Amino acid sequence: MLSRVSRAGLLAGVFFACVPVGALGLLSPPAQAQEALRPVVGKPLQKAQALAHQGNFPGALAQINIAEAARDKTANESFVIDEMRAAVAQQSGDFKSAIGADDVLLKSGRVPAAEQQRLLMAEASSYYQLRDYAGTIAAIDRYHKAGGASPALETLLIQCYYLQKDYVRAAAVQSAQIQAELRARQTPPEGQLQLLANCQLQSRDNAGLTHTMTLLVTYYPKPEYWAQLMQGLRANPNVPDRLQFDIDRLRLEVGLLTSTQDFMDMTEMAVQNGLPHQGLVVMDKGYASGALGRDPQAARETRLKALVEKTVAEKRASIATDEASARSQPNGNALLAVGYSYVDLGQYPKGIAVMKEAVAKGGLLNPEDAQLHLGLAELASGDKAAATATLQNVHGTDGAGDLAQLWQLRIRG
């Protein structure tokens, strides 16, 4: 009985090298193909097999044609000849002929469902090698309808959509693959997340891109991912100016403040937001990193630091009076600011208590901001559990919720 020839590796050289090269065995012979072949068919096919193993594909094809020329072939003999032709065509890189031979086999009615899936995988690979991405997509669709669920073909499908610049469909399939991995408590491969982010960038899906970048930061917390995520927040028109200082606090935390101007701008924002001590912390980090004190603006930076130190002293002297005044107000806005100032000055228990009192008093202009700042105050005090619990309750669509989520990632990391 003629033994079978193995198929060439499937999906070799896939775009972005996202799919490892695998092996696809030729069809396991159905019951009909187990019948003995007549010598007039079997002998040339045996020679074809030996030649194929030696890499002599033209010689193998010539022997297959000799077998094909035999008269009065049985249905089984024709099937085995077509099967051998498909294998040799794919091994030799004649993908167009491989597709034609696979189609003959699929239409023969002699291929079981499981083997149909394998043939359609091979056909999709052949179309891809020919850069016929529409044909690849159609073959994969037939594969799905035959019950196939190969992750490798899902990746190939994504790449075909991407190469056709159909970024919306590519993102949809890639997102579904990632969500399935997350449901299975698996870590999505970095390459999948990168490809999804690229599709969302190309299709201008800003909300989707932010979510994907958050996943990248969650599982692969590289500085460049944090940088892109922070840049997206800073450029988001839905994020108000009042949260820009909070964005910069996170940028400082993850090491993204590097330039002299970065440190100077954040220092000035800290003072404007009534947190002069935080401004002093920013300047100290700027000096420690070398971004401040060694540039042509060193004298200006020295003057700014002196001003910030003076403002800190003034805040310490006035905060008790500020608190008394805030308590007389009909809402909690002024009291919230006083509580945050206490935290800024290092008086964590008192400051957090005053902030909670302000939240309870109500009438806040930006209640989500208040919860965000309360969580950051608890984090500054060293109480990560309380901070996490508070930050989990920050919602909204103007950036406060996004910042709270990112701080939680930072706490866990």
> Which tens digit of pLDDT belongs to each residue from 295-331?
899 999 999 999 999 999 999 999 999 999 999 999 9
CB 46 within 8 A of CB 38: no
- Residue 9: φ, ψ to 5°: -60, 140
Q: What is the mean pLDDT of residues 111-138?
A: 91
Return the percentage of the chain with pLDDT > 90, whole number. Answer: 69
Which of 120-124, 341-345, 353-357, 383-387 bottoms out in mean pLDDT, i.e. has the lowest?
120-124
pTM: 0.68
- The mean of the pLDDT values for the chain is 88
> Which tens digit of pLDDT belongs to each residue from 22-63?
222 333 333 344 568 899 999 999 999 999 999 999 999 999
The whole-number pLDDT of residue 332 equals: 97
Residue 112 — pLDDT band, cuts 50, 70, 90?
confident
The whole-number pLDDT of residue 103 equals: 87
Which of 123, 124, 106 lies closest to 115, judged by CA?
106
